[in-house]
Amino acid sequence: MGTARQIVVSVSGLTKAYGATSVLKGVDFSVDRGEVHALLGGNGAGKSTMIRIITGSAAKDAGDIVFHSPSGELRTEAEGRRKIAVVHQELALLPHLTVAENIALPYFANGAALFNRKRAAGQAYDALAMIDREFAATSLQRLIGDLSLHEGQMVEIARALASGAELILLDEPTANLTAQETDRLFTVLRRLTRESGLSVVFVSHRMKEIRQIANVCTIIRDGRTVVDRAATASLTDADIIEKMGQTATAHVSERAAVPTRRALDGEPLIIKENGFRLELRPGTILGVAGAPAGPSTLIATLVGAARSRRWTVSHASWPDSFSSPRQAARLGSGFITGDRSHKGILHSLPIIDNVLASRRVVRGSKVTGVHEQTECLDLMQALKVKAASIWNLPNTLSGGTQQKLLLARWLGLPSRLLVLEEPTRGVDIGTKREIYHLIRQMAASGTVIVWWSTENAELLEVCDRVMAFDTEGRCAGVIENEDLSEDRLAELTGMAA
Amino acid sequence: MTQNTTQASADTKQATFEIQHRESIIGSYRTEIAIAIAIIVLALAVGSQVPQALSWGNFANITQAGAPLIIMSLGVLLVVITGGIDLSVGSVFSLTGMVTAQAMAHGFGGFEASLIGLSVGLLFGSINGFLVTIAGLAPFVVTLITFAVAGSLAFIVTNGRSMPIGDPDFWLLNSGSLVPGMPNYILFCIVLLVVIELFLKKIVAGRWFYAVGSSAQAARLLGIPVKRTTFLAYVASSLLASFSGLLTISYILNAESTAGSSLMLQAIAAVVIGGASLLGGTGTAVGAVLGALMITVIQNGVNLIGINSFWQGSVTGVAILIAVLIDRFSKSRRGAG
Ligand SMILES: Nc1ncnc2c1ncn2[C@@H]1O[C@H](COP(=O)(O)OP(=O)(O)OP(=O)(O)O)[C@@H](O)[C@H]1O
Ligand SMILES: [Mg+2]
């Protein structure tokens, strides 16, 4: 560091405890003007907690947070926070308002009593167009509640980018984005940091993205800073993973290391769309790639969430179509939603009810029991869930840990089909490998797995075949095991970077 | 830094093996314990002004007066847990009384007349449940409609006149004792409390009430029978309101068209005092019963001290405020939110 640092915010000795659980045990962290700073750490390390404290939505126990202005002067906390924009891990949009209103409302928060629809739309358009011109042109008047998860995420990011903040904190912004959207986001971030000196704090569990966008990184582990402001390029993947405290073998990502499995005997599952027919033998792991519009109707049909005229799914022991998710679940079609916060977690029920929900439905259990507690603990152990008690509410867990609760629901539950929407969203690198392994085990026992992911690398690693959808939502073809490659996927999904 | 690292890894090892799996009674009934203490403090405060407030006789008064509200609150609780609201309970209570008394006047015995009365609850509960689940209307609107309809029917049955009870043994329903030494109204409260609390905590179908109230969308995708659960909640609520109406006329031995009109808001208040959220997904039977008791103790205290009864509403309002603050405080200390 030759030239003097231009610090935007610096945090030192930050501590925070929730009841008896100490979450931050003395974190140091600082961000310079114009840098993209990766904040790294395993699930539950304390990343989101620190972000909440910096933005003032949670209170600290001890430690200092100091804000500086561009000219280097100290700022008060209130002043400093006004220059910060944040995108939290779980979306925080108003579902009954339009996209334009959601983006523009903050501008009208003080002063102007009249909400000027035209001006709001203009501001919202400018903000959204920074990342996606087409989305901006078509979606300003749509209600947030009607948007898909990734569209909602775009709106949040656009709102932050357009806020005029000097520092933006992005807590896993890419977990809900498609590969193409991520690329566009990165282009914008690079431009803004270069041209207007914007600083970005970026949380992600995807090594590739960290390498692409971040020049500096800080690693926290169990509430302590273990690497403070290192140049990202100076650390190897193995270094980073080790510092995060993940297992040493975790970074081995050799597709060849996966033993090729042979399809099992048994009734196949057949997926049909006019003119297209796909037969899945028990034990197949089918990847689904591409923009969400296509996969979502297929998935809704597979799990009985909605009927579709487009798709037919048939199996010897199933009806022509499922009348409800309940029927689907009881006939052995499992589902783990990608919208963890709105469609997955039961927020007012303790962890144990969340984990056992699917088991109770499938088994038709009548009473809860002590044996369930053992089962819940076993599942949590298998997924390395860090929690103080199985009777705590899910919102006492970190985002990635909540994702593990969803996975636990169907893990090891005998089923014919298991549909996974972005199952490793927000899960740390070490646990991801663990999950791949556990899902492969389920496949080996005869379950057909349908795995939708926006992370192509993940599909390449776990899937036998991948069904690709183009940007219009049409099925563009199925790539078989031997032909799978990132280029081929990008080509078929129309998302060549 | 090396030191940091080793210490951190020791922490992880501990964390993975120390997941608490026993449920702490104190932890899960935190709000309820606070309300119970508040009731005792309240009773003592009244007792310091009016000593006979702490007598056995007054205790019997309070439980007797409170029993209908307790039972009605348990029903409203079930609906509130699923994220709904039932505004029709007071009207169903009144209508049940009128219909039962009228049936006796037409020569039915107490038992048959009671069944006819309960069918009022079954009918209105089913209408509420049907309109909320199948027709997909908002619970507030649906039960506002049945509140109005049942309320007016309660007048129509007798043209607005009050009805004395015909069956001479009917009082046994409230004050007889199936279990020696315990009047029936207490027995009914205890049995319903225990049954509903166990149902909500230990029976899978009971857990589904919370799941539906937590997020109907998530519950549906999980394969939980959302409509059936919601329907059941409204039927149970109306049936309990009906039963509560029967209990009241068997005590007063007279049925009036407006008997239940103040009870609906009190029942909702009781549920909220007991720690349930009107947004759904939380609440316990113990809490609802304690909430109802608290309201009854306040009313009783206001009477005994001789405060103008017009103040009752204000005092109850303050009590709700305090209870909700206690609840919020105990939750925020737990760190949620
Ligand atoms: N409200 C709360 N009450 C109790 N504990 C909490 C609360 N919020 C967070 N925690 C605990 O604090 C720890 C850190 O959580 P945090 O959300 O900051 O993790 P994170 O680093 O963002 O993880 P992830 O990568 O999974 O998002 C976790 O162990 C979590 O269980
Ligand atoms: Mg987080």
Q: What is the pLDDT of residues B54-81, one digit of tens each?
A: 998 999 889 999 999 999 999 999 999 9
At residue B8, does pLDDT exceed 50? no
Residue A347 backbone phi and psi in degrees, to 5: -70, -30
pLDDT for residue A329: 94
At residue B12, does pLDDT exceed 50? no
At B255, is the secondary structure helix, strand, or coil? Answer: strand
For the CA of A403, the closest atom of ligand 1 is: 26
Residue A430 CB less than 6 A away from ligand 1: no
CATH class of A7-250: alpha beta
The tokens of A400 are what?
Answer: 């990635």
Q: How far is CA B51 from CA A210, B15, B59, B306, in A?
A: 73, 54, 12, 13
pLDDT for residue A263: 56
Q: Report domain extents, chain B.
A: 55-326
The tokens of B154 are what?
Answer: 């309660």
The tokens of A362 are what?
Answer: 């499938």
> Are residues A346 and B210, on separate chains, in Cβ contact within 8 Å?
yes
Task: Give mean pLDDT, residues B313-322.
Answer: 83
What residues of chain A lie within 8 A of the CB of B202, using their CB?
Answer: 367-368
HEC string for chain A:
CCCCCCEEEEEEEEEEEECCEEEEEEEEEEEECCCEEEEECCCCCCHHHHHHHHHCCCCCCEEEEEEECCCCCEECHHHHHHCEEEECCCCCCCCCCEHHHHHHHHHHCCCCCCCCHHHHHHHHHHHHHHHCHHHHHHHCCCEHHHCCHHHHHHHHHHHHHCCCCCEEEEECHHHHCCHHHHHHHHHHHHHHHHHHCCEEEEECCCHHHHHHHCCEEEEEECCEEEEEEEEHHHCCHHHHHHHCCCCHHHHCCCHHHCCCCCCCCCCCEEEEECCEEEEECCCCEEEEECCCHHHHHHHHHHCCCCCCCCCEEECCCCCCCCCCHHHHHHCCEEEECCCHHHHHCCCCCCHHHHHHHHHHHHHCCCECCHHHHHHHHHHHHHCCCCCCECCCCHHHCCHHHHHHHHHHHHCCCCCCEEEEECCCCCCCHHHHHHHHHHHHHHHHCCCEEEEECCCHHHHHHHCCEEEEECCCCCEEEEEEHHHCCHHHHHHHCCCCC
Element (H, E) at B254: strand B254-255
- How, if at all, do strands A465-469 and A167-171 pair? unpaired
Q: Within chain A, which residues score under 70 in pLDDT?
A: 1-3, 107-115, 247-265, 495-497
For the CA of A387, the closest atom of ligand 1 is: 31
Q: Position of tokens 């995807």?
A: A206
At residue B333, does pLDDT exceed 70? no
> Are residues B220 and A325, on separate chains, in Cβ contact within 8 Å?
yes
Q: Report domain extents, chain A.
A: 7-250, 255-493
pLDDT classification of B14: cutoffs 50, 70, 90? very low
Q: Which residues make Cβ contacts (< 8 Å) with residue A367, sequence separation at least 6?
A: B202, B203, B204
Average predicted confidence (pLDDT) for chain A: 87
Q: CA A69, A71, A74, A79 torsion: positive or negative?
A: negative
pTM of structure: 0.90
Higher pLDDT pick, A239 / B27: A239
A255-493 under CATH 3.30.565.10, yes or no: no
pLDDT for residue A261: 52
pLDDT for residue B41: 93
- The whole-angstrom distance between B56's CA and the closest CA on chain A is 39
pLDDT classification of B20: cutoffs 50, 70, 90? confident
Task: Give mean pLDDT, residues B135-144.
Answer: 96
Ligand sitting nearest the alpha carbon of A53: 1
> Are residues B282 and A325, on separate chains, in Cβ contact within 8 Å?
no
Classify residue B309 by its DSSP letter.
G
CA–centroid distance, A55 to ligand 2, in Å, is 14
Which protein residue has the closest C-alpha to ligand 1 atom 2? A396
Higher pLDDT pick, A101 / B151: B151
Residue B335 CB less than 6 A away from ligand 1: yes
Per the CB < 8 A criterion, the answer to whether A246 and A408 are in contact is: no
Q: Which residues make Cβ contacts (< 8 Å) with residue A391, sequence separation at least 6?
A: A350, A351, A352, B20, B23, B24, B27, B28
What residues of chain A lie within 8 A of the CB of B207, using their CB?
Answer: 349, 353, 360, 368
Residue to mutate (ligand 1; options A24, A39, A40, A48; most atoms within 8 A of CB)? A48
- The whole-angstrom distance between B201's CA and the closest CA on chain A is 8
Nearest to A489 by CA among A472, A463, A466: A466
Q: Which residues make Cβ contacts (< 8 Å) with residue A370, sequence separation at least 6?
A: none
A239: exposed, middle or buried (Cβ count in 10 Å: 0-12, 13-18, 19+): middle
Average predicted confidence (pLDDT) for chain B: 89
* CA pair distance B218, B227, nearest whole angstrom: 13
What residues of chain A lie within 8 A of the CB of B19, using their CB?
Answer: 377, 380-381, 385, 387-390
Which residues sit with Cβ closer than 5 angstroms to ligand 2, an ion? A 48, 89, 398-399
Rg over CA atoms, chain B: 22
> Are residues B210 and A348, on separate chains, in Cβ contact within 8 Å?
yes
CA–centroid distance, A75 to ligand 1, in Å, is 28
pLDDT for residue A2: 47
Per the CB < 8 A criterion, the answer to whether A448 and A280 are in contact is: yes
CA–centroid distance, A399 to ligand 2, in Å, is 5
* CA pair distance B268, B29, nearest whole angstrom: 20
CATH of B55-326, one of 1.10.600, 1.10.260, 1.10.3470, 1.20.120: 1.10.3470
What residues of chain B lie within 8 A of the CB of A349, using their CB?
Answer: 207, 210-211, 214, 281
* CA pair distance B259, B163, nearest whole angstrom: 12
pLDDT for residue B334: 40
The tokens of A415 are what?
Answer: 């089923």
pLDDT for residue A108: 65
Residue to mutate (ligand 1; options A55, A396, A428; most atoms within 8 A of CB)? A396
Residue to mutate (ligand 1; options A49, A244, A402; most atoms within 8 A of CB)? A49
- The whole-angstrom distance between A448's CA and the closest CA on chain B is 19
> Are residues A361 and B202, on separate chains, in Cβ contact within 8 Å?
no
Whether A255-493 and A7-250 are alike in CATH topology: the answer is yes
